Amino acid sequence: MDQSRYEYLLLLGDNSMILGHRLSELCGHGPSLETDIALTNISLDLFGQVRSYFQYAAELKGDAATEDSIAFTRFDRDYRNAILVEQPNEDFAHVIVRQFLFDSFHLPLLEQLVNSRDETIAAIAAKSIKESRYHLRFSSEWVKRLGDGTEESHQRTQAALDHLYPYLHEVYNESPIEKEMKKAGIGADLATVEAISRNTIEDVLTESTLMLPKIEPRMVRGKQGIHSEHMGFILSDLQYMQRAYPNMQW
């Protein structure tokens, strides 16, 4: 059970870590000072959640594992994040739509995890919910602003949605570990999470005058460690210091 719980923590933590890293790339590049700071703060929130997940994962793993070794020394096939969060910062519309799609899933996920039989996971979820509610409010408001804004902002946001929405299917699709953890009362029921997430997306898109893409889901397997070409570039940045100077500490 400890091994399964460890792998489940990777599923939870890796999404937040990779998305947090993507947002960190934007520091100093936001369209306005206020938005730049907001995106950076969301990145810091996500990294804070990652630390909690990985500290617990290190306890379960043993063998002198630490939050840093779990975060920085795995190979790409050992990361369990969804392909959605790997997608690059093409433009501000892509950043916002990617964030919104993730937030629509992440908040109801945490709302279920507060009832987990694992007290540590439940505590992490309870601590993270307030932050995630703000994340969803921030990204929702920006989707509405961009979608129902100028002709160009509408077109860019619709293009971002058309590109990113097919990746969303993966986060709803239960992996064997997620099924096991759900059965044990530790993990979330992704069918319930999906229903809430899709309702949120439909409501926000209606207000945004954006169209829900009628595109087949992308059958990707990030949860199984099969990642996009973007992942190698992400890890080359993310892991550089620990790879160059093993076991370094500040």
What pLDDT is stored for residue 1 in this prediction? 58
What pLDDT is stored for residue 27 in this prediction? 86
What pLDDT is stored for residue 248 in this prediction? 76
Burial (0-12, 13-18, 19+ Cβ within 10 Å), 81: buried
Question: Which of 148-157, 220-229, 233-242 reaches the highest mean pLDDT?
Answer: 148-157
Tell me how far apart the alpha carbons of residues 23 and 21 are, in angstroms, rounded to a whole number.
Answer: 5
Phi-psi region of 161 (alpha: psi -120 to 50; beta: other; left: phi over 0): alpha
Segment among 31-40, 117-126, 144-153, 229-238 with least mean pLDDT: 31-40
Confidence of residue 223 (pLDDT cuts 50, 70, 90): very high
Give the residue among 110, 100, 66, 81 at the shortest CA–CA distance from 21. 81
Are 125 and 192 a contacting pair, CB within 8 Å? no
Tell me how far apart the alpha carbons of residues 54 and 247 are, in angstroms, rounded to a whole number.
Answer: 16
Q: Is the pLDDT of residue 64 over 90?
A: no
- The Cβ of residue 120 has, within 10 Å, a number of other Cβ atoms equal to 16
The two most distant CA atoms of the chain are separated, in Å, by: 56
Q: Is the pLDDT of residue 84 over 90?
A: yes
The average pLDDT across 162-176 equals: 95
Q: Is the pLDDT of residue 250 over 70?
A: no
What pLDDT is stored for residue 220 in this prediction? 86
Q: Give residue-wise pLDDT tens across range 181-214.
A: 999 999 999 999 999 999 999 999 999 999 999 8
Domains of the chain: 2-244 (1.20.1260.10)
Q: Give residue-wise pLDDT tens across range 105-142.
A: 999 999 999 999 999 999 999 999 999 999 999 999 99
What pLDDT is stored for residue 50 in this prediction? 97
Tell me how far apart the alpha carbons of residues 212 and 149 are, in angstroms, rounded to a whole number.
Answer: 17
What pLDDT is stored for residue 153 in this prediction? 97
Q: Give residue-wise pLDDT tens across range 40-54.
A: 999 999 999 999 999
Is 184 strand, coil or helix? coil
Q: Helices marked H in the chain — which ranges?
A: 2-24, 33-61, 67-72, 92-113, 119-147, 151-164, 169-172, 176-183, 190-208, 230-238, 240-244
What pLDDT is stored for residue 219 in this prediction? 77
Q: Is the pLDDT of residue 28 over 70?
A: yes
Q: Is the pLDDT of residue 249 over 90?
A: no
Tokens of residue 186, six digits: 């530790």
Tell me how far apart the alpha carbons of residues 140 and 207 are, in angstroms, rounded to a whole number.
Answer: 10
What pLDDT is stored for residue 176 in this prediction? 94
Confidence of residue 217 (pLDDT cuts 50, 70, 90): confident
